[in-house]
Chains A and B, each alone.
Chain A
Amino acid sequence: MLDTVDARTLTIIQLRNVRKNYGSVCVLQDLSFSVSRGEVVALIGRSGSGKSTALRCINGLEKIESGQITVCGHDVERMKGDLRPLRRDVGIVFQSYNLFPHLTAEENIMIAPRLVRKMAKSEARERAAEVLQRVGLLEKRSCYPEQLSGGQQQRVAIARALAMEPKVMLFDEVTSALDPELTGEVLRVMEKLARDGMTMIAVTHEMGFARRVAHRVIFMQAGRIGEMGPASLLDAPETPELRQFVESDR
């Protein structure tokens, strides 16, 4: 009986009139949108349109000038310095993987649960095995990042974020540094996550992924929302900017 539930309780991320400057350059202006539990949102747009910045603001890696961001009940701006409760609920995966090069795949995954969640070593190891299984890399658990391909490193990075059992996953152009053939294996992991009901925001250039997986597409344009709607939007853009953007992808 979904329609009897108050829509607001389903909202897990909310941005209200968010404004962000880099020096004198305004990268986000009056950005507002919300994401519901279990929703997959694709953030698309040209380089410099503010999509990665928006993502980084959501987990507090960037400070905003004004507006309000609420994530899983945390008011990001009011947390002042200690953003750890927020980080426990939000996982992020970066374009350049950012695995810890001095740790094996398994250790990369175990370190945060052990330190942050105070998990026992054996339990953390079990958790690592479980998430590595989910990304199909259990046999690579004792490899160092440099021994893995880009696609494998990115899957370990996804597993590392999943091990913290986040309520939301953010993906920041996670396939942009990968060869086309390695892109597929990462996208498949993300699709599986989406099917399992994970709330996701993915900044992406993969229009195919956006079409297949996203419940909603947000097209960003000069720090604002240029167009927003279901994935079918990509096949029938309303604005000339989105039309041009989608066509340039073909």
Chain B
Amino acid sequence: MPTFGLNQFEFLLRGAGWTVVLSALALVFGGIVAFAIALARVSDAAVPRTASNIYVQLIQGTPLIVLMLICYFGFSLYGIDLPAIVAAALAMTLYVGAFLGEVWRGCLNAIPTTQWEAAESLGMSRTERMIWIILPQAIRISIPPTVTFMVQIVKNTSLASIIGFVELTQAGKLVNNATFQPFICFIFVAMIYFVLCYPLTVWGRILERRFNVRHR
């Protein structure tokens, strides 16, 4: 039986690489969905508002792990065999779209209505107001919570292990199965997650502080 050594550590690092890839996919595609959801949630029109609300409620009321299972096994029932990475990225996209969408909606709502009124009184259309007045301010305040949320994304990619995607957690499980040294193995897994997440946490904190100083 092999013991935990450099080879095993290297295997974990390769898994960590996939964790990063999945996180990036989740952030990019989830971010696109989240942007659309945030805009729909503050829309004047009832249909996008209601539809986006239903989407958010559905996703927020479903464990991410179940979304993973649905995306992986659900589609294969209909003859669509998604590779694990695609299924995992899809589930993460749905998840990020709902949660980050709500974060960003909060940022849009945080812009005082008086800003809308001032722009409206100058004759700007709703779209012009959104693009030139509201969004630039909302994007600025959304950066710290978005960076903080990225930590959640990285950690939650671990749930992709349930569908056999060999990211960091699944790599840890495989190493443990081979070496049967769970303590040392998962300590290393935890440490790698920490190394990935801690800089994001620090960055988020710095951005938050900088933002608060600027707006005091």
Chain A positions within 8 Å of B123 at CB level: 84, 87-88, 112, 116, 164
- Which residues of the other chain, A, contact B54 by a CB distance below 8 angstroms? none
Q: In the complex, A12→B123 CA distance in Å?
A: 19
Number of A-B residue pairs, CB cutoff 8 Å, is: 53
Q: Are A102 and B118 in contact (CB-based, < 8 A)?
A: no
In the complex with contacts A94-B114, A111-B132, A115-B132, A102-B122 CB distance below 8 A: no
CB nearest to B136 among chain A residues: A102
Nearest-neighbour CB distance to chain B for A201, whole angstroms, equals 14
What residue of chain B has the Cβ atom nearest to residue A163's Cβ? B122
Instruction: Tell me whether A59 is interfacial, beta carbon within 8 Å.
Output: yes
User: Which chain B residue has the least Cβ–Cβ distance from A90?
Assistant: B121
Residues of chain A contacted by B115 (CB below 8 angstroms): 98, 100
A94 to B137, CA, bound (A): 20
**Bound-complex Cα distance A164 to B120 (A):** 13
Q: Whole-angstrom distance between the alpha carbons of A83 and B124 in the complex?
A: 10
- B residues near A84, Cβ cutoff 8 Å: 123, 125
CB closest residue in chain B, given A99? B118
Q: What are the residues of chain B within 8 A of A94 when measuring CB–CB?
A: 114, 117-118
Q: Is the CB of B114 within 8 A of A115?
A: no
Q: A residues within 8 A CB of B81?
A: none
Instruction: A112 to B119: give the CA distance in the assembly, Å.
Output: 8
Query: With A87-B123, A88-B123 in contact, do A115 and B117 touch (Cβ < 8 Å)?
Result: no
Q: Mark B112-142, 1 if CB is under 8 A from A, else 0.
A: 0011011111111100100011001100100
Judge whether A190 is part of the interface by a CB distance below 8 angstroms: no
Taking a contact as CB atoms under 8 Å apart, the answer to whether A98 and B118 are in contact is yes
Q: How far is the CA of A154 from the CA of B132 in the complex (A)?
A: 21
Verify B118–A87 contact, CB threshold 8 A.
Answer: no
Contacts of B120 in A (CB 8 A): 61, 83, 87
Question: With a CB–CB cut-off of 8 A, which chain A residues contact B132?
Answer: 111, 115
User: In the complex, what's the smallest C-beta–C-beta distance from A239 to chain B, in angstroms?
Assistant: 33
Q: Give, as a whole number of angstroms, the nearest-CB distance from A182 to chain B.
A: 20
- Could you say which residues of chain A place their CB within 8 Å of the CB of B119? 100, 112
**Given the complex, which residues of A lie within 8 Å of B140, measured CB to CB?**
102
Would A87 and B122 count as touching, CB distance under 8 A? Answer: yes
| Max chain B C-beta neighbours (<10 A), residue from A96, A98, A99, A161 | A98
Complex formed: what's the CA distance from A84 to B128 in Å? Answer: 12
Task: Give the residue name and chain of the B residue nearest to A116 (CB).
Answer: B123
Chain A residues near B128: list those with CB within 8 A: 115-116
Q: Does A101 contact B (CB under 8 A)?
A: yes
Residue of B whose beta carbon sits closest to that of A97: B118
Determine the residue in chain B with the shortest Cβ distance to A170. Answer: B121
List chain A residues, Cβ under 8 A from B125: 84
- Is A129 an interface residue, CB under 8 A from the partner? no
Determine the residue in chain B with the shortest Cβ distance to A88. B123
Residue of B nearest to A59 (CB): B121
Q: Is the CB of A116 within 8 A of B114?
A: no
| B133:A100 contact, CB within 8 angstroms | yes
Complex Cα spacing A99 to B117, Å: 11
Inter-chain CA distance A94–B124, complex, in Å, is: 17
Which chain B residues lie closer than 8 Å to A91 at the CB level? 121
A57 to chain B, nearest CB (A): 13
Tell me if B118 and A100 are in contact (CB < 8 A): yes
Q: Output the nearest chain A residue to B111 by Cβ-Cβ distance.
A: A101
Within 8 A of A (CB), among B77-123: 114-115, 117-123
* Residue of B with least CB distance to A102: B136
Residue A51 lies at the interface, judged by CB distance under 8 Å to chain B:
no
Interface string of A111-128 (1 = CB under 8 A from B): 110011000000000000
Cα distance, A115 to B136, chains bound together (Å): 16
Q: Which residues of B contact A (CB under 8 A)?
A: 114-115, 117-125, 128, 132-133, 136-137, 140
Q: Which 5 A-B pairs have the closest CB atoms?
A: A112-B122, A98-B118, A87-B123, A116-B123, A98-B114
A selection of 16 A-B contacts at a CB cut-off of 8 Å is A61-B120, A61-B121, A84-B125, A87-B120, A91-B121, A99-B118, A101-B137, A102-B136, A102-B140, A111-B133, A112-B122, A112-B123, A112-B124, A115-B128, A116-B122, A160-B122
